Amino acid sequence: MKNENINLLFVCLGNICRSPAAEGIVKKMIKDEGLDHKVFVDSAGTSNWNEGNAPDERMRKHGAKRGYSFDGSARTFRSSDFDKFDYIIVMDNNNYNNVKKLARNDEDITKIHRMTDFSIDLDHDHVPDPYYGGEDGFEFVMDLLEDASKGLIKEIKMRL
């Protein structure tokens, strides 16, 4: 059965690096595919440390170099997100476990996916947190997110 609309939520720890980058990358790809009226994209973190903060300046800089805009403000993932979102896409196993703890039933759990589950060319089991690393870490995260986003868009197009 085809869906009318699809809602995506990207989740990392603080919602200032990986998940807002995934949100921005997918928003641009969705727009480029002409699907921005059918797909809603958001992001959240499993911690509330950065609530209300803009995405990390370094992540925004690396995104801008590739033509992406990472804006918005950090918010915390909550159980009610399972009601709004069709896909809850986490960056690593810690995020997976934290989100799963808030699931209320098996249907909620089926909505949780790892970002790297959608990877096409890069073989990595998680999207590492670049926060405490250098420039190379941010570039690697961007590579992983772009690759997995292409696979995600491919799956979404089959569902629409």
State how far the Cα of 94 lies from the Cα of 142, in Å rounded to an integer.
Answer: 20
Decide: helix, strand or coil at residue 40.
Answer: strand
User: Is 17 an active-site residue?
Assistant: no
User: Is 56 an active-site residue?
Assistant: no
State how far the Cα of 112 lies from the Cα of 119, in Å rounded to an integer.
Answer: 16
- 87-90 and 39-45: which strand pairing? unpaired
User: Is 12 an active-site residue?
Assistant: yes
Q: Give all strands (DSSP E) within the chain, no chain letters.
A: 6-12, 39-45, 87-90, 112-114
The total number of residues shown for the chain amounts to: 160
* 40 close to 9: Cβ distance less than 8 angstroms: no
Catalytic residue (choose from 12, 17, 60, 147): 12
Catalytic residue (choose from 42, 81, 92, 129): 129
State how far the Cα of 57 lies from the Cα of 15, in Å rounded to an integer.
Answer: 13
88 φ, ψ to 5°? -115, 110
Catalytic residue (choose from 17, 18, 108, 114): 18
Mind telling me the catalytic residues?
12, 18, 129
